[in-house]
Amino acid sequence: MNIHEYQTKDLLKRYGVPVPPGQVVHTDVQATSVAEEIGGARWVVKAQIHSGGRGKAGGVRVGNSVSEVGVIADEMIGSRLVTQQTGAEGRLVHRVLVEQASTIVREFYLGLVIDRATRRITLIASSEGGVEIEEVAQHTPERIIKEVIDPAVGLLDFQCRKVANKIGLKGALLPQAVKIMKGVYRCMRDHDAVMAEINPLVITDSGQLLALDAKMTFDDNALYRRPEISELRDFDEEDPKEVEATAHGLNYIALDGDVGCIVNGAGLAMATMDAIALHGGRPANFLDVGGGATPKKVANAFHIVLQDPAVKTILINIFAGINRCDWIATGIIQAMRDQNIKMPIIVRLAGTNVEEGRAILNTSKFPFIIAGNLDDAAAKAVAEANKIAGKVVPLRKEQA
Ligand code: ADP
Ligand code: MG
């Protein structure tokens, strides 16, 4: 789960990481009064969306008077911001962060990520801050400094000093850098974050280190024990289909193909997507209904999959162990009836109560396309989707 910049800054502040004075606002009137409260002569107004690259996209703008801050906030709030990371449709800006503008002398990158190879949190720093770290990694990998952290002892002072030295921080800046690095590390560890990033970390004209941008990502599987983090979740930033799926206990991930998938078990769901791809098709989603899926849960799964306008056909692939094919079939019939589904539905059922399940489908008035196995199901689903799309696809050799 991701959170907004202002939320990350609030968290980091509690760990002694210096951030500019500022506040999130929802209206232009609030923006002007916050600017007045902060004081000074220059402020930045920053769109709060879950995306980087806002600066280049016009989502970080400087106001030189209190009234200009209001004008900028008014323009930003309610607009759609398109960045390199949002896709062409962009993101609707619901709120902006108004903060003191700093005079930047130098920009650095500071990050903490879980390195899967060493299975440890790794501190990453670079003298090339402000820009995308991926670009630095690609063009000048020698400018990226890494330090692996031993979880038994945590991040130690000497490691911080070593990294700070390598990116060119000296003198009075060294103890500041140590404090910031250790603060971010403790904040990450205390909240089960999987990533924390300050980009840029800057030296200001008064010789202070300051975190101007901050991002944190949290482990979804640990959210149950971090209610203070769960609370920060912003559903506006998430795919509404995925939000609904979570509420119904379904695992759904939207993809960009046209064959909707309803499957039990993550492994079988992956195999189903592979089989669709093997037959030249593209899955519209990953969906795992889990074990012991009730008819209601199956009907909910249809509801979510069908919200994607690209879906041309749905493939249901169930290998029932804990599940019951009769419940699945009952759910399918409920969905067909209540959601008035007209598109071709391909069903492959196997396992517990399969005879009862097939009987329910066969005696219904709906023209299901029944498949005998996974490969057959995928082939039929892709053929139906292509028929609707008007595509002619030659059969694979073994099918011909
Ligand atoms: P993004 O990474 O989404 O582009 P940032 O918060 O990093 O957004 O802002 C982009 C750039 O804007 C920064 O690299 C920095 O140069 C400038 N900037 C951001 N916040 C401030 C601030 N408070 N004062 C001065 N400049 C800022
Ligand atoms: Mg940034």
Identify the pLDDT of residue 392.
63
Phi and psi at 230, nearest 5°, equal -50, -40
Beta carbons within 10 angstroms of residue 39's beta carbon: 10
By C-alpha distance, which of 369, 380, 366, 371 is closest to 338? 366
Give ranges for CATH 3.40.50.261 in the chain: 239-389
Query: At a CB cut-off of 8 Å and minimum separation 6, what does 106 contact?
Result: 127, 129, 168, 202, 203
Distance separating alpha carbons of residues 215 and 21, to the nearest angstrom: 17
CATH fold, domain 239-389, is: Rossmann fold (3.40.50)
Distance separating alpha carbons of residues 292 and 265, to the nearest angstrom: 11
Identify the pLDDT of residue 312.
97
Q: Is 128 a catalytic residue?
A: no
Nearest CA to ligand 1 atom 11: 55
**CATH class of the domain defined by 1-19+103-237:** alpha beta
How close is the Cα of 250 to the center of ligand 2, in Å? 34
Ligand 1 nearest-atom number relative to CA 20: 23
Tokens for 284? 């519209």
Identify the pLDDT of residue 195.
97
Spell out the per-residue pLDDT of the chain, length 400, in tens.
999 999 999 999 999 999 999 999 999 999 999 999 999 999 999 999 999 999 999 999 999 999 999 999 999 999 999 999 888 889 999 999 999 999 999 999 999 999 999 999 999 999 999 877 888 889 999 999 999 999 999 999 999 999 999 999 999 999 999 999 999 999 999 999 999 999 999 999 999 999 999 999 999 999 999 999 999 999 999 888 888 998 898 999 999 999 999 999 999 999 999 999 999 999 999 999 999 899 999 999 999 999 999 999 999 999 999 999 999 999 999 999 999 999 999 999 999 999 999 999 999 999 999 999 999 999 999 999 999 988 765 555 555 4
Query: At a CB cut-off of 8 Å and minimum separation 6, what does 349 contact?
Result: 316, 318, 320, 325, 328, 329, 357, 358, 361
Identify the pLDDT of residue 364.
95
Residues 12, 221, 117, CA angle at the centre, nearest 5°?
A: 80
- Roughly what angle, to the nearest 10 degrees, separates helices 173-190 and 157-166? 120
Give ranges for CATH 3.30.1490.20 in the chain: 21-101
Catalytic residue among 109, 128, 147, 384: 109
Identify the pLDDT of residue 245.
92
How close is the Cα of 224 to the center of ligand 1, in Å? 33
Ligand 1 first shell, C-beta below 6 A:
20, 44, 46, 52-55, 60, 99, 101-102, 104, 107, 130, 199-200, 212-213
Ligand 1 nearest-atom number relative to CA 57: 4
Indicate the residue type of 343: M
Residues with CB under 5 A from ligand 2 (ion): 199, 213
CA distances in angstroms from 171 to 94, 167, 176, listed in the order given: 42, 13, 10
What is the b/e burial string over 190-214, where b = at least 16 CB atoms within 10 angstroms of the residue's CB?
ebebbbbbbbbbbbbeeeebbbbbb
Distance separating alpha carbons of residues 105 and 205, to the nearest angstrom: 6
Q: Is 252 a catalytic residue?
A: no
If you search the block for the tokens 């031993």, which residue do you land on? 150
Ligand 1 nearest-atom number relative to CA 199: 7
> Are the C-beta atoms of 266 and 251 separated by less than 8 Å?
yes
By C-alpha distance, which of 30, 36, 20 is closest to 99? 20
Distance separating alpha carbons of residues 279 and 117, to the nearest angstrom: 34
Ligand 1 nearest-atom number relative to CA 103: 25
Tokens for 377? 């199901």
Distance separating alpha carbons of residues 14 and 185, to the nearest angstrom: 12
Nearest CA to ligand 1 atom 14: 130
How close is the Cα of 101 to the center of ligand 2, in Å? 14
> Are the C-beta atoms of 129 and 61 separated by less than 8 Å?
no
Ligand number nearest CA of 18 is 1
Catalytic residue among 5, 128, 147, 197: 197
Distance separating alpha carbons of residues 102 and 208, to the nearest angstrom: 10
Give ranges for CATH 3.30.470.20 in the chain: 1-19+103-237
325 dihedral zone (left: phi>0; alpha: psi -120 to 50; beta): alpha
Three-state DSSP state, 121: strand
Ligand number nearest CA of 204 is 1
Helix/strand/coil (H/E/C) assignment for every residue in 27-85: CHHHHHHHHHHHCCCCEEEEECCCCCCCCCCCCEEEECCHHHHHHHHHHHCCCEECCCC
Strands (E), the chain: 22-25, 43-47, 60-63, 80-81, 91-92, 96-100, 104-115, 120-126, 144-148, 193-204, 209-211, 214-218, 251-254, 259-263, 285-288, 313-320, 345-351, 369-370
How close is the Cα of 332 to the center of ligand 2, in Å? 47
User: Which of 213, 215, 216 has most ligand 1 atoms within 8 Å of its beta carbon, as the pocket-test mutant?
Assistant: 213
Nearest CA to ligand 1 atom 10: 55
Identify the pLDDT of residue 378.
98
Ligand number nearest CA of 46 is 1
User: Which of 99, 212, 215, 216 has most ligand 1 atoms within 8 Å of its beta carbon, as the pocket-test mutant?
Assistant: 212
How close is the Cα of 215 to the center of ligand 2, in Å? 8
How close is the Cα of 200 to the center of ligand 2, in Å? 6
Identify the pLDDT of residue 397.
54
CA distances in angstroms from 173 to 23, 161, 323, listed in the order given: 26, 10, 61
Identify the pLDDT of residue 310.
95
CA distances in angstroms from 320 to 147, 197, 351, 353, listed in the order given: 47, 44, 5, 8
> Are the C-beta atoms of 276 and 381 separated by less than 8 Å?
yes
Ligand number nearest CA of 128 is 1
How close is the Cα of 129 to the center of ligand 2, in Å? 9
> Are the C-beta atoms of 262 and 301 separated by less than 8 Å?
yes
Domain covering 21-101 in this structure, CATH number:
3.30.1490.20
What is the model's pTM? 0.81
Identify the pLDDT of residue 395.
56
